[in-house]
Amino acid sequence: MRQGGSPPTGKWVGNPQGGVKAPDALILPSPATRFAASAARFEALSEGHPMAGWLNFMADLARAQHVAATDGKLCAIPDQAEIDRAVGARIPPIAADGHRRDPAWRAGLALMLDALARGGLTERAATSIDELRSRDDEAIEVAADAFLSGSVSPGEMRTALFIAAALQVYFTRFAAGLKASTLRLLPKRGLCPCCGSTPVAGLVTASGQVPGTRYLYCSLCSTAWNHVRAVCITCGDSRTLSLKGIEGDSGAVKAETCDACHTYAKMLYQAKDMGVDPYADDLATLGLDIMVAEAGWARHAPNPLLLVG
């Protein structure tokens, strides 16, 4: 199934006359909807928000990502034989730290920067874009490697935001070209089965064939994969989990904390708000991160756009 498409059909478990359906193990992204949905949600969440200016900028960035993601000329074709070998070895088929990037991703970066430049940019953002445009291809690739390996220097943070956003577009498009039926979840269930990256957040469904299913959403390639509920996505413990939230809010976003490994992960609940988006709602609820961090839990993994933005 593609994100933004029809509800999952799943497969019958047990007696097909009276059994229940199993949720899809993973849901590949839809480049046509992934970034547009985040842009709309960022814009909606910005109204009356104390960080409205930043959320509106993130909406503009997501719209620019959508321009690049829907350009038909930037399609990298997966090598199915190579994909099958990786899946057979139970490793991510488009591993972020080992995948040979198609040069088309840099064209996507250029499209994204052009789309951003057509809007209203702050002087700081405009300066960062001009700096990126002045670099040659080799320097851009070095910057991409630094981001994917988690070794971005403090001086590169401003430009790394746009590198990260372009890589999200590239990996999302690449993941969308895979065949879901040939993929498998990884032994370490807290990592993306396509690229091996960490999730940005989890989402508990309220609709479809199997409501109440939890999916984790990849921070890089936008793939969603099923993960059993009430189990820590970092260490697998199920005895010391609890949910933390901000009193008086909608209850749509919670922090699932684990006292075994002292980490937490964001969880979104469609039953509280059908409009939740893992990427936008995560960045719009930084107050929850601050509250939980001050209480002693460390985040399972950072949102890459927040880390460098």
- pLDDT by 10s per residue, the chain, length 309: 455 444 444 333 333 444 567 899 999 999 999 999 999 999 999 999 999 999 999 999 999 999 999 997 776 677 888 888 999 999 999 999 888 899 999 999 999 999 999 887 888 899 999 999 999 999 999 999 999 999 998 888 889 999 999 999 999 999 999 999 999 999 999 999 999 999 999 999 998 789 999 999 999 999 999 999 999 999 999 999 999 999 999 999 999 999 999 999 999 999 999 999 999 999 999 999 999 999 999 999 989 998 665
Instruction: Pick the closest to residue 228 from 207, 243, 211, 213 (CA basis).
Output: 213
- What φ, ψ does residue 268 adopt, rounded to 5°? -110, 140
Contacts of 270 (CB under 8 A, 6+ apart): 203, 204, 205, 206, 207, 276
- Is the residue at 76 inside a domain? yes
- Any domain includes 298: no
Is 161 among the domain residues? yes
- Helix segments in the chain, DSSP class H: 34-46, 52-69, 80-88, 104-117, 123-133, 137-148, 157-176, 278-284, 286-294, 304-308
Residue 106 covered by a domain: yes
Domain-embedded: residue 202: no
**207 assigned to some structural domain:** no
Residue 112's Cβ-side half-sphere holds a number of Cα atoms within 13 Å equal to 30
Residue 307 inside a domain? The answer is: no
User: What is the domain-level CATH number for residue 107?
Assistant: 3.90.1670.10
Record the tokens describing residue 211, joined without a space. Answer: 């409501």
Residues spanned by the domain of 138: 50-176
Residue at token pair 């479809």: 208
Q: How many domains does the chain have?
A: 1
Residue 14 in domain: no
* Residue entry with tokens 């032994």: 187
